[in-house]
A and B are shown apart, each in its own frame.
Chain A
Amino acid sequence: MTLEWIGDALLLLVVLPVVVYLLRGVLNAANSIVPSAQQIALAATAGSKDLDATTLLLTTQDQVKTTIVLAADYGGSLDVILDDAN
């Protein structure tokens, strides 16, 4: 009979607090991850939206090509009409 009471006391005074302590730690850790995950999601969404302008790079690519071709044409003409330094 005494042993049963000792077992009850162990359950209530030792096992239950330990279980609660451990589970609360797991819950706190999980809860602390939630805001970080939400911030990551927001950042990824914003980053994806920022990259919508990458299609303009194709326009830039064409314009750079055109500009260089024009510069080459001018350079060729200048090479013909100007004297060399040496």
Chain B
Amino acid sequence: MPAAGVVMIIAVLLIVLAVVYYLVSTIVALQRITNSLDEAITGVVGIIEKSAPVDEVVTDINTNLDAGVSLLEGLLVKKAGMQDAVGLVDGLYPGAAAEGFRDFPESKETKAPRISEVYTKGTLTLARLGREAPIAAASPNGPALRNPAYGSTAARGLYPEIRQTRPQAMPRSPVIGTDSPVQYEPSESPGVRKRMPVPAGVGAAPAQGQEQAEGGIVKSGLAFLRRFKNDDEQ
């Protein structure tokens, strides 16, 4: 065989070896890619299966929340009025008035009063309870509940407490100490007095044993109430 033929055979063999080496390496790399993609497909299928009901559930949650928002916004606007409702929201969440209420587009143009500076949160709530509320029992036929200039005073008048009328003389606060007009004896058992306290200048109270003889704790309580009432009348 001529030398040129031998060299040609060797050259072809080298080419074939190179092709085999690179193709086998490529096949191995492609198999690793295939395995990874199989894992990815499994994960993606899991994602698809798990996220399938999400749309329906989230839509339902949003629907319920939308209903809740509409309910609360509607109730707030209905009870407080648009201006005060916007002011209340802005007072609780500064800047929120600019966004307005979702179901009331006109609320965006409503100028929010500075409610948080005029009323405390509790006062505003109580003021909005209305004349029929128990808190307003002291002045059921009084003037308007709110006065923008003197809001806290007007709201304070809702409380059924005599101090709101600013009387000339109020009962003094209880005096305590060794020289106080009403002396309490130390009790041997908690919650049970040896005898009821007696204000200065009043006759001695009946003994505890006597009260119990009249009917026990209930009667002694009634006796105390009677004395309390008599003290008030005096």
From B14, B40, B79, A16 is in contact (CB under 8 Å) with B14
Q: Which of A27-86 contact B (CB under 8 A)?
A: 27, 30-31, 33-34, 37-38, 40-41, 43-48, 51-52, 54, 57-58, 60-61, 64-65, 67-68, 71-72, 75, 78-79, 81-86
Report the nearest B residue to A3, measured CB to CB: B4
Q: Does B139 contact A (CB under 8 A)?
A: no
Q: A52 with B11: in contact, given A8-B4, A34-B33 (CB under 8 Å)? A: no
With A23-B18, A26-B22, A34-B29 as known contacts, state yes or no: A44 contacts B39, CB within 8 Å.
yes
Q: Does B7 make an interface contact (CB < 8 A)? A: yes
Give the complex CA separation of A47 and B42 in angstroms. Answer: 11
Among B15, B47, B71, contact of A19 (Cβ-Cβ < 8 Å): B15
Instruction: Tell me, in angstroms, the Cα distance from A16 to B30 when the chains sit together.
Output: 24
Given the known inter-chain contacts A16-B18, A44-B39, please indicate yes or no for A84 contacting B4, CB distance below 8 A. no
In B108-151, the 8 Å CB interface with A consists of 128-133
The stretch of B56-64, B155-163, B165-173, B223-231 that contacts the partner chain: B56-64
**Residues in A neighbouring B12, C-beta threshold 8 A:** 11
CB distance from B26 to the nearest CB of A (A): 5
- Pick the contact of B72: A7, A26, A57, A75 (CB < 8 A): A75
Q: State whether B26 touches A33 (Cβ < 8 A).
A: no
A19: chain B residues within 8 A (beta carbon): 15, 18-19
Residue numbers in A under 8 Å from B175 (CB-CB): none
Q: Report how many A-B pairs have Cβ atoms within 8 Å.
A: 160
Contact indicator B29/A27 (Cβ below 8 Å): yes
Q: Tell me the bound Cα distance from A78 to B22 in angstroms.
A: 80
CA distance A4 to B5 in the complex (A): 7
User: Which of B2, B43, B47: most chain A CB closer than 10 A?
Assistant: B43
Chain B neighbourhood of A34, CB < 8 A: 29, 32-33, 36
Q: Please name all residues of chain A whose beta carbon is closer than 8 Å to the beta carbon of B50 when the two chains form the complex.
A: 48, 51-52, 54
Selected from A30, A58, A71, A75, the residue in CB contact (under 8 A) with B57 is A58
A41 contact set on B, CB distance < 8 A: 36-40, 43
Q: How far is B30's CA from A27's CA once the two chains are assembled, in angstroms? A: 9
Q: List 6 A-B contacts (CB under 8 A).
A: A11-B15, A24-B22, A26-B22, A38-B36, A44-B41, A57-B54
